[in-house]
Structures are given as structure tokens and as C-alpha cells.
């Protein structure tokens, strides 16, 4: 079983890269399931039902999120009505939406996808370690294939939670920092890990935003409007090959696919 994970989709250029490249990648790598972090897909901050629909139409099966979950008020429609959309699991229990889901079909073994958010240098949610431990035990009663998006700032927090879950989940892929790391590996228990998947959007930028306003903010401390950049667009993420019977990862490969020049 092959799962393609797509790092944070940033604005319209990111959505365009998904639209143009996901069908190609699905065919080229014989991908069975596509998961994408979409928390920056609407104007570079947040997500709406319309941007989610555009991402699904491109061939994405599950959308995860993170600390920009609430940046668009229309997100409540996704949280209340869309079982393919995940918020971080470690929100309080009364929060709308869900932190995990299981995909089942006639042609595919059951696959669980879980979304977590870290606490170091971020909003102080419930403890993701305790939340993950309990939810993984529940999910493992239904499937051995469990894929985790760990949305966090601190590399240590991402690595630690992956080490805790080694042998219990198929993969832990980090998001949030928008910088693709080169530490892809499979831990001894069979869990694939990548500290950060990178981002899908314009890379002639500062993390997907126009360069000059970001520089001005650093130089002057004055508020700036960070418009979404548009040049040199890439789709970044990871491709994980998993044994559907055992849930163990067999291989992990980083993906960094440029959008053809005429499409940028």
C-alpha cells in the first residue's frame, strides 16, 4: 500500500500544484491514498469548504490541519459536516470535528489517519502524547495501518512522539515549519518518520509569502500584509510504502515536484 502525504498547501499556487501534479503522482507511483495538510490553503491562512472541495477534486482523500484551523470562519462547515477533514486530535472533547478517521473501501485495507498538534512554542492544547497513545490503541483494534500528521514547531517534539509510537503506527510525518527535512527513516519498530514534509506552494518566497513584506517586518517591527508568493511552485511531501497486513512501513521517500514553468 502506498500513501502520498502532501506538506502544507499554501494559497492558490499550492492548490494549483495539487491540481496539476497529484493525478500524475498517483499514476506514476501507483498511490492508493493521498493525505494533504490544507490549513493554509485559503489565501495562505486557514481553509474553507470551497478550497477543501478544490483539493478533494484534485485527488486528495483526506485533509489535515493545524494551528491555523480557525483563521477562516467558514471552517465550521467542514468541522461539522466533513468526515474527510481532520482537526488536531488534542483539542478539548467539546470542539467540533474529529482528530482521526478510518478510510475503508472494497479495494483498500482499512487505513486510519490521525492529526496531532504540538505544544512547544504553539497554542497550549491538551497533551498530544496522552491523546495519541489512547487514540492509537482504539484505532489498532480496527486496523494496523495508521498514518499520523504531527503538526508542531519543535523538532524534538515531533521526534519524541514518533519514537513513542514506533511499532504502533505506520508513519509519523511532521508539518508546520514549511521546510522539508532530510531525515526520512524507518524506526526499528517499523514506523516511517520525516520531521517535516515541507510545503506546497511558491518557493521564491519566505515560507510561501512574498519576500519584501516579511523583510520589512523583521527590519521595522511594523505590521505588514503577507501576501502569498507565486514564483517557483513545488509540491512537497513524502511517499510511504506500507505492508497492509502488518502496518509496518517498507520505504519512505521525500517528494519535491516542481510545477512546470508554464504553469507557475
List active site positions: 68
Tell me the CA distances in angstroms from 258 to 16, 52, 263, one per residue in order.
12, 22, 10
CA geometry: angle at 51 spanning 49 and 54, to 5°?
A: 110
Nearest to 2 by CA among 259, 237, 243: 243
- Provide the phi-psi class of 244: left if phi over 0, else alpha when psi is between -120 and 50, else beta: alpha
Alpha helices in the chain (DSSP H): 11-29, 49-57, 75-81, 128-140, 155-165, 211-220
- CA dist., res. 47 & res. 36, Å (int): 12
- CA dist., res. 153 & res. 8, Å (int): 13
Amino acid at each position: 500500500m502506498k500513501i502520498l502525504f502532501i506538506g502544507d498547501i499554501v494559497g492558490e499556487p499550492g492548490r494549483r500544484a495539487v491540481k496539476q501534479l497529484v493525478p500524475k503522482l498517483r499514476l506514476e507511483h501507483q498511490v492508493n491514498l493521498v493525505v494533504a495538510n490544507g490549513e493554509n490553503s485559503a489565501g495562505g491562512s486557514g481553509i474553507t469548504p470551497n478550497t477543501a472541495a478544490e483539493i478533494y477534486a484534485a485527488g486528495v482523500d483526506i485533509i489535515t490541519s493545524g494551528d491555523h484551523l480557525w483563521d477562516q470562519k467558514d471552517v465550521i462547515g467542514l468541522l461539522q459536516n466533513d468526515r474527510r477533514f481532520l482537526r488536531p486530535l488534542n483539542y478539548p472533547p467539546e470542539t467540533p470535528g474529529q482528530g482521526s478517521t478510518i478510510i475503508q473501501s472494497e479495494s483498500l485495507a482499512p487505513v486510519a489517519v490521525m492529526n496531532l498538534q504540538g505544544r512547544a512554542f504553539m497554542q497550549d492544547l491538551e497533551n498530544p502524547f496522552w491523546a495519541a497513545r489512547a487514540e492509537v490503541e482504539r484505532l489498532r483494534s480496527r486496523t494496523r495501518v495508521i498514518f499520523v500528521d504531527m503538526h508542531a514547531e519543535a523538532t524534538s517534539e515531533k521526534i519524541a512522539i514518533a519514537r513513542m509510537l514506533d511499532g504502533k503506527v505506520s508513519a509519523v510525518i511532521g508539518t508546520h515549519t514549511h521546510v522539508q527535512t532530510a531525515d526520512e527513516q524507518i524506526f526499528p519498530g517499523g514506523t516511517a518518520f520525516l520531521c517535516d514534509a515541507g510545503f506546497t506552494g511558491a518557493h521564491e518566497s519566505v515560507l510561501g509569502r512574498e519576500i519584501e513584506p516579511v523583510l520589512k517586518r523583521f527590519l521595522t517591527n511594523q505590521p505588514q500584509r503577507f501576501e502569498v508568493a507565486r514564483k517557483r511552485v513545488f509540491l512537497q511531501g513524502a511517499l510511504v510504502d506500507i505492508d497492509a497486513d502488518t502496518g509496518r512501513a517498507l520505504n519512505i521517500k521525500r517528494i519535491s515536484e516542481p510545477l512546470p514553468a508554464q504553469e507557475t
